[in-house]
Chains A and B, each alone.
Chain A
Amino acid sequence: MFIIAFFSILVIPILHADYKGGAKSDEENRYLASWPTLFSDGQLNFKGFEDWISDNIGGRHRAQSLIKTIDYKIFGIYGQSLTILGKKQWLYMATPDEYHEYQNTNLLTRDEADYYAQEYEKDAKAFKDMGIDFYLCMWPRKFTVYPEYMPDTFIRNGDTSDFDVLEDAFNNRKSLEFYTPRHILSKKKTERLTFSKSKDANHWSNYGAYLAYTGMMEKISEKYPQLQILQPEDFDITEQDFYTTTAFGFESSEKDLVYNLKHDSTHSDKDYFEKHEIQLKDTWHSWNYYCNDDNSSLPKVLIIGDSYVWEFLLQDISQSFSETAFIHISDYPQTGNVIQVLHPDIVICAALGDNIEGITSIRDYLSPTE
């Protein structure tokens, strides 16, 4: 009996495996491995088989749920990778490489920050030579605006962060139009959450997004007064309770505003880029194009941005422009191709601080490429 029980424990999971594989795992945000081919790149496909069995063994999902539940309920470990469980059920998302932005370790030197600022200033000049106004927007991370809920096991060294150093460097560049909503988000957090507490471990709240949108548009409207900035009256705004629960037992709630646009003057066309034979590769397929049906005389804008833009701001921004194109920062080498088709008046580069560091020299991609 003991021997039979032992082998049953080994055999039952493989009998209940998903032999076809390839299912989408929402929890892991990826597709699971499919049944492998015998050969891969001319060699026996051992890795493919290992991946298939690792992903599709019977009971895997239940095993992972059980372990996560035990980890959370008994040991207080949050069961999602890259998510830090802070105080009072606050969640923060960061990779280990990004922790230093909170810890203020391995700080950017002034020279390094000046280098980035100088590069963007050169980019702005290059755009200017093409008759395009360039704006740089730098978003703060959640722990930059809400450091107080980070766990005490994270140690902050000093008061100056990479964000501070970069912000200072960008502000000192007279030929660079720069904006960050960091200060308004910090100021207004006493009134209402400007970053999501736990329903989103990474991004701002809808209220915070509106503050960022307003600040950015006010900056742009200094030169483009004809731009209409959406006011609260342009929305149906309701306050809602949001509850966050996970399979492993985490529970949290928060209040946030929901902004429903009363009149959407645009229509979107996700196939815009494909129609113009522009190959975009961002894994989230976040690219989009909006055309304003109400006013075709407004300026056109190209936004190179991240999820803070395409998940929260894009539709609102598009109301103020005749045409709005968005490409993800990972597709910034396609900038020249998009410019050739769209002929924007304005280009906005809007992303988190460390993403901003990664996309200097946009000017090298202003000519159309194959």
Chain B
Amino acid sequence: MAFSGNVFIFMFLPIFFILYAALPKIARKGWLLLASLFFYAWGNPSVLYVLSVSIIINYTGGLFLKRFNERNAHFLFAICIIFNVSLLFCLKYLNFTISNFNFITGQNLVLMNIIQPIGISFYTFKGISYLADIYNDKIRAEKNLLNFALYMSIFPEVMEGPIDRYGDISKQFSNASITVDGFVKGIERFSIGLTKKVLLSDTMGVLADSVYSIGYSQNGSATAWVGAIAYMLQIYFDFSGYTDMAIGIGNMMGYHFTENFDYPYTAVGITDFWRKWHMSLTKWFRDYIYIPMGGNRKGFGRQVINMFVVWLLTGFWHGASWNFVFWGLWNFIFLLIEKILLKKKKPHGFFKIMMWAGTMLVVLLGWVFFRADNLPNAFGTIGVMFGFIHPSNVGFSVFWYLNRKNLFIMILAILTCIPWKQIVPQFKYLFESITGHVLKAVLCLGLMCLNVLLVMNSTYQSFIYFKF
């Protein structure tokens, strides 16, 4: 079930909240769990087996981790981590491994008939972080299975995160309550998120798909750039829109989920970019891979290795394909360059602008690898963009793709990447006044009406990060 789909918006969401508000507080968690499992199972109930197994193993592992002596605890922790990684490997990476094995060895092993459960990368990481936090004495094991199951499966987060830590969420299970303020804030956030998805992301997505559907050798250079920029906007608004909706729904229920984006396309430097993009994932890799491996505490050489491992895994996490791995290492290279050349120096003035432009170029080209079907196509697209490859049989001018509507939405999308409230403080004060509250309410309702129109009219649906 997609947040921007008819079933979720017109059926699931109103029914869920009507009952959620009507039920006594003691029953709300049970209803939330039931609704979450229903949400996850929609379309393919068999995925519930995977989620259930993950919940039970991680819950049980967590319970017993601190009951054993240190040596056995190490062993149990290792077993639980291996279980989580194996689950993810089998359901997401097995066929990729088999294909590559066949390619290298010339064998012809049969690929397995596996349907990757949606969101498995997200809740597996949640399970690992839960166990690691218990193992490192950051939290205590949760004895209430309902609470833990809810943590793993809570529907606003189960498909695409954010990857919340158990310690942050568990406190809210008993404290979460619906307030008018929270509900209103949640609606505002949800409305904005839905607009990002159905207006900005989906429009840019159709544009990007139409460029990429034609082979790179048949697209002109300008068209290739338009396609790359369109995808850069699509992925941001798709994912940040989803996160806004998730956080908004959480607010409506009285929960506070972690932020995942902080205007990443204003980043100055790749290091800064990864402090603003998919923040919960970056922090996960930092806390559970980079720091345990030694981080930057064991010399520069070791730090480089640690960074390499993190970004290799980050690439793999995004998909079982070499272009994702390349994308991860692409980011690694530029992070390393920054570390060597900048040494924590903060850029100023003109150099800051140049560095921002350079960052956006690096990110843009990284997204080309991310979007392309394979590495040759990615390199080909970049070759066309920079004029190294000359296209032939070009069938469309760039204005076929960049028609008035797409141009308007693209400009709107670019403007939406800017944190206007930070740049123009008057906006912040305006919306905090009483008039501002009324204006915000009218705008949100207007956006929701527009969203409903677009959802009814839409044919372009799926969220990108569903694949992960």
Interface residue ranges, A against B (CB under 8 Å): 2-3, 5-7, 9-11, 13-14, 44, 46-47, 49-50, 53-54, 57, 59-60, 63-64, 66-67, 71, 74-77, 99-100, 103-106, 151-155, 157
Contacts and interface: CB of A to CB of B under 8 A. Distances in A.
Contact of A3 (B183, B218, B404): B183
Nearest to A50: B7
A91 B7 CA distance: 36
B394 A155 contact: yes
Tell me if A's interface is mostly helix, strand, loop or mixed: helix
Given A14-B10, A53-B11, A6 B187 contact: yes
Nearest to A46: B43
B403 interface: yes
B445 A9 contact: yes
B397 A155 contact: yes
Interface string B1-40: 0000111011101100110000000000000000000000
A216 B245 CA distance: 62
Contacts of A157: 393-395
Nearest to A53: B6
A46 B7 CA distance: 10
A9 B456 CA distance: 12
B454 interface: yes
Given A46-B43, A63-B457, A7 B17 contact: yes
Tell me if B's interface is mostly helix, strand, loop or mixed: helix
A152 B397 contact: yes
Nearest to A68: B457
Interface in B177-207: 180, 183-184, 187, 191
B453 interface: yes
B457 A3 contact: no
B399 A54 contact: no
Contacts of A75: 403-405, 408
Nearest to B402: A153
Nearest to A105: B393
Nearest to A76: B404
B203 to A, nearest CB: 11
Nearest to B183: A3
B187 A2 contact: yes
A77 B403 contact: yes
Interface in B52-83: none
Nearest to B42: A46
Most buried by B among A2, A5, A6, A49: A6
A2 B440 CA distance: 10
B6 A57 contact: yes
Given A2-B441, A50-B6, A106-B393, A9 B405 contact: no
A63 B395 contact: no
B448 interface: yes
A7 B404 contact: no
A2 B457 contact: no
Contacts of B281: none
Nearest to B401: A153
A250 to B, nearest CB: 16
B7 A53 contact: yes
Contacts of A67: 453-454, 457
B449 interface: yes
Contacts of B44: 46
Contacts of A64: 456-457
